[in-house]
Amino acid sequence: MTSGPYLITREQIEKSNRARKRVLDKNLAALAASLKPAKIDLDHVLHELTRFKIAIPSWGTMTGGTRFGKFPVPGQPRDIFEKLDDAATIHRLTGANPTVSLHIPWDRLDDLSTLKRHAAKRGLRFDAMNSNTFEDQPGQKLSYKFGGLSHVSKQVRDQAIRHHLEVIEIGERLGSKALSIWIGDGANFPGQADFRKSFARYLDSLKKIYRALPKDWTMFIEYKPFEPAFYYTVLADWGSALMAANAVGERCKILVDLGHHLPNTNIEAIVARLISAGKLGGFHLNDSQYADDDLTAASLAPYRLFRIFHELISAGRELGKKFSPAYLIDQSHNLKDPIEALIQTTVELQIYWAKALLIDEQALEHYQEKNDVLMAESEFKKAFHTDTRPLAAMARMLAGGAIAPIELFRESGYRKIKTRERNP
Ligand code: PSV
Ligand code: MN
């Protein structure tokens, strides 16, 4: 018998799929028949859907919380190795999450070669590396209470820059190709900060980090309107982010966290602008009622997600391979089991990606050119109302994953087994 942590096996997945394949085939055939008049190439849609991959955030495998408390699930990972085990389980079930995004120093990494080997053994690679200068660490020399990269003191800025260089170094040893920077810098009260000077200092720091960025890496800068700074944030919006990305260099791109917008913002229009500017780097996917609520993607505003995906799919068709934004999840799982929430998220993202793939771009353009508002909108609605769950299930199965990943996860008893394994 092999020892080591429990992982869901290929045999379990195949067995579970065998029991569900007939119904899936029937549902897919019905979908194909209903789409026949539209002359949609379902094989192509399936192919595109299997190419859609989404990174797991290491921090998302743990129970999240609010500042009022946390209610941890039992058996959560105790270290980065166990986080990778959970991520590997998610990827085995979905076939769509082959990479993990680390957050430094939340992820404590001692032995990088062992970690890299562990990831490879689990069939995982490392996605964008996240830095953290938005809170202080025990033993840290200078405080980030009043900011990091934009701080008034050069010594604090230098410390924050050094942290980013260390994160790059770790990422290089793990095979990552991107650095993701979100800063909490800003002000709570009028008069506290000089808007122009703080932005200039931020740019100066970014440029220094960029100089150390390996040539095959991308730098993502992530904007957010508020929190922790409630009056003014240094990188509050896509306009500031675009200015910064243009000033810093070619490989500095913008990361759009869906929750980082005020209510009712037309995010898809922002996405389109960033594509036009050649500066869209990637996404932190989630959903929100108010702002940075970090709820499960598509739980509240699935139509918005679909419209964002439409912008991406249509840009991809136009620009080809050179258009390849990074897709990462950034959620906080306070109530749901984190593994289940991440599987559910991936499933939902696949469903809405598939819907957006079904939009007849030619017909849409035709109606747009004729100013036929109703028919143009109908093209969106037609695709949006199509039940794409069988396509998503088939895409998972083709990628080696499960037709019904959450059901299988529950049947496997994974959480219970981990609770025993991780609390000896
Ligand atoms: C900030 O709210 C943020 O979206 C950044 O991406 C951080 O890295 C992440 O959340 C932390 O959860
Ligand atoms: Mn984020």
Is the shortest distance between the CB of 333 and ligand 1 below 6 Å? no
Q: 3-class DSSP state for residue 5? A: coil
In terms of phi and psi (left: phi > 0; alpha: psi -120 to 50; beta: otherwise), the region of 407 is: alpha
- Buried b / exposed e along 80-93 (16+ C-beta atoms within 10 A): bebbbbbbbbbbbb
Degrees (nearest 5) of the Cα angle 54, 55, 59? 140
- What is the CA(24)–ligand 2 centre distance, in A? 35
Rounded to whole angstroms, the Cα distance separating 338 from 288 reads 17
Atom of ligand 1 minimally distant from the CA of 257: 4
Closest protein CA for atom 12 of ligand 1: 330
- What is the CA(385)–ligand 1 centre distance, in A? 32
Global model pTM greater than 0.85: yes
Q: Mean pLDDT across the chain, nearest whole number?
A: 97
Closest protein CA for atom 9 of ligand 1: 330
Rounded to whole angstroms, the Cα distance separating 325 from 51 reads 13
Is the shortest distance between the CB of 292 and ligand 1 below 6 Å? yes
Rounded to whole angstroms, the Cα distance separating 201 from 208 reads 11
CB 260 within 8 A of CB 291: yes
Work out the burial of residue 111: count CB atoms within 10 Å of its CB; fewer than 13 is exposed, 13-18 middle, 19 or more buried.
Answer: exposed
Rounded to whole angstroms, the Cα distance separating 165 from 131 reads 10
Rounded to whole angstroms, the Cα distance separating 77 from 58 reads 10
Is the shortest distance between the CB of 284 and ligand 1 below 6 Å? yes
- What is the CA(216)–ligand 1 centre distance, in A? 24
Pairing outcome for strands 125-130 and 99-103: parallel
Task: Give the pLDDT of residue 2.
Answer: 53
- The Cα-based distances of 92 to 106, 202, 236 in angstroms read 25, 40, 37
Task: Give the pLDDT of residue 370.
Answer: 98
Is the shortest distance between the CB of 306 and ligand 1 below 6 Å? no
φ and ψ at residue 419, rounded to 5 degrees: -60, -40
- What is the CA(72)–ligand 1 centre distance, in A? 19
How do residues 147-205 score in pLDDT, each as one tens digit? 999 999 999 999 999 999 999 999 999 999 999 999 999 999 999 999 999 999 999 99
Closest protein CA for atom 5 of ligand 1: 182
Q: Which residues are in the CB-under-5-Å shell of ion ligand 2?
A: 257, 284, 330
Is the shortest distance between the CB of 107 and ligand 1 below 6 Å? no
DSSP 8-state class, residue 142: S
Rounded to whole angstroms, the Cα distance separating 5 from 421 reads 7
The tokens for 98 are 């082959």
Nearest CA to 349 among 304, 298, 413, 311? 298
Task: Give the pLDDT of residue 1.
Answer: 43
Give the rounded percent of residues in the chain with a pLDDT score beyond 70: 100
Nearest CA to 224 among 298, 299, 326, 292? 292
Atom of ligand 1 minimally distant from the CA of 259: 4
- What is the CA(180)–ligand 1 centre distance, in A? 10
Rounded to whole angstroms, the Cα distance separating 268 from 306 reads 9
Q: Which residue has the higher pLDDT, 372 or 1?
A: 372
How do residues 307-317 score in pLDDT, each as one tens digit? 999 999 999 99
CB 100 within 8 A of CB 180: no
Is the shortest distance between the CB of 283 and ligand 1 below 6 Å? no
- What is the CA(321)–ligand 1 centre distance, in A? 28
How do residues 225-239 score in pLDDT, each as one tens digit? 999 999 999 999 999
Most distant pair of Cα atoms in the chain: their distance: 68
Pocket test for ligand 1, best of 107, 134, 255, 257 (most atoms within 8 A of CB): 257
Amino acid at 175: G
Contacts of 154 (CB under 8 A, 6+ apart): none
Atom of ligand 1 minimally distant from the CA of 130: 8
